[in-house]
Amino acid sequence: MSVATVVPKEPRAGVRSLWSKEEAQRLYDLPLNDLLFEAQSVHRRHFDPNRVQMSRLLSIKTGGCPEDCGYCSQSAHAPTGLKASKLLEVERVIAEAKKARDGGATRYCMGAAWRSPKERDMEMVVAMVEGVKALGMETCMTLGMLDPQQAGRLAVAGLDYYNHNIDTSERYYSEVITTRTFADRLETLSNVRDAGM
């Protein structure tokens, strides 16, 4: 059970996004195989159980992230020797998306290793979303933290999904990451939700 249930633009009957603590605890306490059965039952009620969506992921900006996430090789603090790259050109991203589509992918995910997009990069990021959408694909991005204006621009451009993990529990957060807070992550989730993604 994820912390926040993703609600589609046209919610399906029975999809819930608000759970009581008691309901969440009951799911948490289930034996693993019972939990898997419950998850499969929910999936089968809403999706073809024998269909898999093909997605492709492209790193549009690799390495050099100023965050110190203890699990991430993209961090400038990680001893990986990974060199930071600049943001890819829009044309290259669209060309890679075409290859993905031609290979059977219906969703294209773009990720950037940074704390949050800089204003100077937003025009290119928006153009990437618009270009991939023009290919008839769903779009997904993970760009770090977003303010309300950035989330709004991405929503207007047609971004379908925003991947933004909360990483760990609030209590344990500073053991994994010290360059941002748990509340920072929740704020971005709120901004994305308010923008309609």
Domain boundaries, the chain: 19-51, 53-195
Q: What is the mean pLDDT of residues 154-175?
A: 94
Q: How far apart are CA 16 and CA 18, in angstroms?
A: 6
Q: What is the mean pLDDT of residues 88-101?
A: 98
- 5: pLDDT confidence band, cut at 50, 70 and 90? very low
> How much of the chain exceeds pLDDT 70, in percent?
92
What was the pLDDT predicted at 107? 98
How is domain 53-195 classified at the CATH fold level?
TIM Barrel (3.20.20)
Q: What is the mean pLDDT of residues 91-100?
A: 98
Q: How far apart are CA 50 and CA 44, in angstroms?
A: 9
**Residue 2 pLDDT > 80, yes or no?**
no
* Distant-in-sequence, close-in-space partners of 22: CB < 8 Å, separation ≥ 6: none
Q: Which long-range contacts (CB under 8 A, 24 or more apart) does 115-123 make?
A: 115/65, 115/66, 115/67, 115/144, 115/145, 115/179, 115/180, 116/143, 116/144, 116/145, 116/146, 116/147, 116/150, 117/143, 117/144, 117/146, 117/150, 121/87, 122/150, 122/153
